[in-house]
Every structure is written in structure tokens, then in C-alpha cells.
Structure 1
Amino acid sequence: MSRVDLNLLTALDALLSERSVTGAARRLNLSVSAMSRTLSRLRIATGDRLLLQAGRTLVLTPYAEHLSQRIPALAREAEAALSRAEHRFDLGTLEQRFTVRAGEGFIDLLGAALMDRVHRAAPGVQLRFTPKPDWDAQPLREGAIDLEIGVVRTSAPEMRTRLLFRDRYVGVCRVGHPLLGDTRISVEQWTACGHVMVSRTGEAENAVDAALEPAGIRRNVLMVVPSYLSAMQLVRHSDWFAAVPHSCLGNSFVPDYASANGLQCFELPLAMPAFNISAIWHPRLDHDPAHHWFRAEVLDLCLAAYPRRPAADSSLRHR
């Protein structure tokens, strides 16, 4: 398309509409002489005179009359296609599906609140949550996933991350468990009881056992399950224990989730560091206005759900 100059399309639209070189020049903020030269270029490009003198006015040739039915729409399409993306973004008419990879806890406790927030601003948006069996970055790279929510464990250096909230592990058991009385449970009592361990991959590796390892202590693990919500339901109907993120117990939108499910929580009898829950995405979506808006909605939701967030965003690498 080396011979095509899209500026001529805008000029042709003005000339056909105004039917005047002077009027078209005024409309495009050009000099009359510059518009006359543009008309000459248009005549060469189309092989048609386009506008002809008829007394003191100009009239359209038959071909120009034909073009006058098509050019206005073409000019608007070209301008829209080549304008900045944010100028084409309208939440009210946005029809898009965002695919999110998140743990069951986030989906169960915040999925409805997120959908309600999104739907009020953009009724045409759909959310699709997918399972999170691992931390493979390839689906983000390929576009199969728009956003991941969780702990950053990918080795892909190009990924963007944004801290959503800080989390920590706590113990859970059924309400009225015989070992939970007025005194704090000891690490010996805790580890001797039956435990439900959570492992997405099925392997017996997790942060709780890593924290116990330096002291040479091991838990009495009776069962391994793939999700924290499954572990919570199992201990609800037994005398077993589980360690789950504090965020799984509830939030500002669902404040009594643990008690409503017959669970009580307690501080673990060992020191464990807090950890970050982040939004993770591929940099090709950095400046997409729809994805930028969606990421902001997720962040605002998490700030409202878990308001006790540190002032410093230590995990913030890219916005």
C-alpha cells in the first residue's frame, strides 16, 4: 500500500461533504492552496475529476456522488482503527470474557463480589475461572489466561505482578475441638493429632512442613487434598487439624465464613512468615484498556475485602 495515503481519505470526505475547496480547507484547518493541491492529488489517485465548476459553485461528478455514499463511513472507520486504544474503550458496550486462574478460596469467597462489581460497570463482561493445578506461566504467555491470582512462583522473568493483599497461615479445626481450651495448643499436641495437608500437585511439600523441618518435627498427616476448602470441610467433621491461609476464613464481604461452616481458627504453634497474594499477567496486556480496567477492579476488590494491608508495596515490580 505504498501508494495509499490515508490523509487523502479525510480530505476527500471533507471535499465531498462541503463541496467547496474553501469549506474543506476550513474544516481541516488547512490553507486553500494546500487543499487545492490535495484535490489535484485525489484526482490523480482516483482518475476522476471529482468536483467540477458550475458557475460559482462546485458539483460532484457521478463517481464522486457514488463515493459520497461510502467515504464518510470509511473515514470514520480508518480514524477509529488508528486512534489510541483508550479512545475506543467504552465500559457500557464492552463485550469480553476475562479468564482468571485462581484458587478455590478466592473463587468461593470473592467470586460473587467481583462479578457484581464488574457487571455493574460493564454488563457485557463475563468471567471465566479456571483450575489452578500448578504455576506454569505458559497459559499466560499464550493468552489462554488473562490474569492469575495467587503466590508468585513463576520463573518467567517477563511477567508483571501487583500485590493484592498479605496473607498468613492459621490452624483450623471443628468448633469444640477437645485440644482447644483456655491455653494455647503446644506444637507437640498439634503435630501428634491427625492432619489434612493441602497440596495442589499431590506431593508432600508445603510451607508448614518446611517450617517444622529445622526442628526435626513432622506432622501426623493422614490425608492429602488439592484445595484448602476441601481440607476445611474434612476437619469440620473430625478431630483433625489443617493449616490454611487466613483469607480462607472470610473477608469484609463474607465475615463469618469459618463459623458458619462449623470451624474455629487458632494461631499455629510455630513461627511462619506472611506471604503475598498477587495479580500476575503477561506484559502484552499492560496497555490494553479493558484489561487495565479489570485489573484495577480486582485490586480495589481485594483492598476492600482485606483492608489491613501494609503501606509499602514491596512486591510491586511493574504496573
Structure 2
Amino acid sequence: MTTPDLNLLVALAALLEEGSVARAARRLKLSPSAMSRTLARLRQTTGDPLLVRAGRGLVPTPRAVALRERVVRLASDAEAVLSPVRDVDLGNLSRTFTLRTGDGFVENFGPRLIARVGEEAPGVRLRFALKADKDSAPLRQGEVDLDTGVIGVGASPELRVRALFKDRFVAVVREDHPLCEEGMSLEQFVGGRHVLVSRRGLERGPVDEALKALGMTREVVTIVGGFAAALSLARASDLIATVPCRHTFALRAGMRTFALPVRLPEISICMFWHPRFDADPAHRWFRQCVKEVCDNPLAVSEETLV
């Protein structure tokens, strides 16, 4: 069985709509002779003259009249399938986006992101998943639409990345902690008792490496897997928690925040997605929502740091 040339479908639609070889040729940017040859092929393929001479013009045969509406619709559908989608109807969009985030992201940015998405696309639902590791498999497998965090050495090279905001680490204690009156010098920071955040359960972190370079060590009395747990312990004890400032803004409500007395580099919080979603207009809109929500400053200003 011979496979039909589907290019003929577009030519037939133009011929039936224009009723003229010359006008159909101009529409398809072909020469009149090329269009005449295409009409000859159409006649051979369909077994019908399709357009016949009537005076100076052409008129459709009964077969052509019967085919016209169907052919035009098929050609239009084919053109839509093979054309890039540039816009999305947000008002009628029905979709669930899964966003995998680290500790504190939902508390800080979740309410405004939900409000922003709900205002523009009420049929969209957000699913927040806690990021337990840096494994890129959920992104590759389509289980997660968007991931946030710091770029790791194990990140898949094919992932798309866009920066969201810069963050820095700060020291946090409960409101009536003794350090609230004394301030936090390097010596007082080192002399305090600390809670260390390590998702992998490591016993040392960047603060300890910075102190080691100064010939100093701190007392880490407990290790937890997330910022929320660290701040909860610090809120109910004399422990000092070291956490990223913007990422934990909402979690630190009612606590005192100090600038770290050791120098640590800033971190870049980014969002990641798989290339399969790169050109998807709905996903592109969602990425822009996340970016704009995170661009809105939420962290305390430098003047409020003790």
C-alpha cells in the first residue's frame, strides 16, 4: 500500500479555498507551474478532476465540494500540530505542578506563590515535595516539574538552571537568649552550644571549616536534617542555629538574628527543570511565577542584624 503524500493535503486545501491555481500558488509561495503539477498529482491521487475549467475560471467538482470542509479542517489541524505553541490559556489551564524544595521554602514563598498562581490560573494546583537529597532522577522521570536549591556537583548536566536569589548564612537564637544583650562576638559564638544542620548527617559544616582556618572549634551538641528542626531547637533552648537568611525568614519569626562572626561565601539558590519542559508554555509561565515571587525581597535587612 502506497503511503499518501500528506503535503498534498495542504495544497488541496489552498486550491479548494482559493478556487484558482495562481492564487493558491501565491498563498503557498510556489510558482504557477509548480502548483499546476501539484494539481495534476492530486487528480491522479484522488481519481477526480477536482477543479475544472468554466470560462476563464475553475469550478470544483462534486467530489471537491464534498471534500472542501473536511480538507480545510485537516490542513488547519496539521498546521497547528506542527507549529510552536506560543500562548497558554491560563484561565482554562487545568494542571498540577510539583515543586521540590528545601526546608523553609514553602513557609517563605509558598503563600505568595499560591496566591499568584491562583489569581492567574485558578485551575492550577501546586504540590510541594520536600527535597530529601540532590538526586536528579525525579526531574528526568517527570515526577517533579521544578526543583530548587544550590547547584551540586552531582546535578545532571542536561538540566536547565536559572538563579532565583542570593543568600547568606546567619546565626539565630531565641528572643531572650543571653547573647541578645551581649552581642555575638567571634569568641561568644565559638563559646556557645550549637545545632548543626546536615542533611547527610555530617559532623562538620562550612562554619566549622571557617573556624578551623582560624584555629578555633565550636561545640556542636546536636545534628539535625533541616533548618526548621534546628530553629525549633534553638527557639526552645540556648542553642545557636546557623541557617540561610532569606530561605528561613518566616521560620525565624520571634527570634533574634545575628550576622555571622566568620566569613562564609554567599550561596545561589536556583531552580532546575528537565529540558522536556523547556518549551512548554504552561511550564514556562510557572517558572516565571516562581522567579518573580522569589525576586520580591523577604529577608531581613542588614540594619536589623545585630
**TM-score above 0.5, yes or no:** yes
Q: 1:43 to 1:124 in 2, by over 3 A?
A: farther
Matched letter for residue 275 of structure 1: I
Q: TM-score, normalised by structure 1?
A: 0.79
Please tell me whether the aligned partners of residues 136 and 154 of structure 1 are also in contact (alpha carbons under 8 angstroms).
no
Structure 1 gaps of 5+ residues are: 309-319
- Change in Cα spacing, 1:51 to 1:215, as seen in structure 2 (3 Å) is same
Could you say which residue in structure 2 is the equivalent of 1:195? Answer: 194
RMSD, matched Cα: 3.1
> In the alignment, is the contact (CA less than 8 A) between 2:245 and 2:299 conserved in 1?
no
Who is 2:260 aligned against? 268
Q: 1:302 aligns with which of 288, 291, 294?
A: 294
Q: In the alignment, residue 276 of structure 1 is paired with which amino acid?
A: S
1:204-283 aligned within 5 A: 204-250=203-249, 258=252, 261-283=253-275
Matches within 5 A, 1:23-102: 24-25=24-25, 28=28, 32-52=32-52, 58-62=59-63, 64-86=64-86, 89-102=88-101
- Partners of 2:194 and 2:138 in 1: CA distance: 33
How far the C-alpha of 1:147 sits from its partner, in A, is 2.2
- The 1:287/1:57 distance shift into structure 2, 3 A limit, reads closer
Partner of 2:296, secondary structure, is helix
Please say if residues 174 and 236 of structure 2, whose CA atoms lie closer than 8 Å, have aligned partners that are also in contact: yes
Q: 1:135, 1:154 within 8 Å by CA — same for their partners in 2?
A: no
- Residue 221 of structure 2 aligns to a residue whose secondary structure is strand
Structure 2, unaligned stretches of length 5 or more?
Answer: 301-306
Cα distance in structure 2, aligned partners of 1:207 and 1:157 = 25
Deviation at 1:174, TM superposition (A): 1.0
Question: Any runs of at least 4 consecutive aligned residues in structure 1 with deviations exceeding 6 A, and if so which?
Answer: none
Q: In structure 2, how many angstroms separate the alpha carbons of the residues matched to 1:4 and 1:211?
A: 71
How many residues are aligned here?
A: 299
Against the structure 1 CA distance between its residues 57 and 169, is the aligned structure 2 distance closer, same or farther, given a 3 Å change threshold?
Answer: closer
> Does 1:172 pair with 2:172?
yes
3-state secondary structure, aligned to 1:305: coil
* 1:145-200 deviation per Cα after TM superposition (whole angstroms, max 9, x unaligned): 2322111113333333222211111111111112321x432444334433222122
Structure 2 match to 1:137: 136
CA contact (8 A) 2:227 2:248 kept: no
Checking the alignment, whether the CA contact within 8 Å between 1:16 and 1:60 is kept in structure 2 is: no
Shift of 1:54: 6.5
Q: Shift in Å at residue 25 of structure 1?
A: 4.7
Q: Give the CA deviation at 1:297.
A: 2.6
1:311 alignment counterpart = none
